[in-house]
Amino acid sequence: MINAKSIAAMKDGVIVINTSRGPLVVEEDMAAALNSGKVAAYGADVASVEPIRPDNPLLTAKNSLLTPHIAWAPKEARTRLMDIAVDNLRAFTEGAPKNVVNPKK
């Protein structure tokens, strides 16, 4: 979806954020647009191949901010997941399991 043609149609100095899917962006085209200044900045939590390869052009492109697919995991989300796991374990040991995937009928 985001390639040289679609980037050319964007305003100069655009900021692009991708937290959807890495393959939606042609990374070579985005790197070229960053290095030329057409795109002011690119932020992504995804890459076309994960874990990101050392030769990915976005790793050396200007104003490219990349995170390792952790946008889903702020402290609050991880705390909530741990609380749910503890609550599920407690309920199971008390004989009243919660969130049962395949309950016996």
What one-character-per-residue DSSP string does 42-76 give?
EEES--SSSSPPTT-GGGTSTTEEE--S-TT--HH
Please give the mean pLDDT across all residues of the chain: 93
User: Are 43 and 71 within 8 A, CB to CB?
Assistant: no
Summarised one tens digit per residue, pLDDT across range 34-47 is 999 999 999 999 99
Catalytically active residues are: 21, 50, 69
Structure tokens at 77: 């989300």
Can you tell me the distance from the alpha carbon of 69 to that of 58, in angstroms, rounded to the nearest whole number?
15
For residue 74, give the amino acid letter. P
Section 60-84 average pLDDT = 91
Section 43-53 average pLDDT = 95
pLDDT at 13 over 70: yes
The phi and psi torsions of 85 (rounded to 5 degrees) equal -60, -45
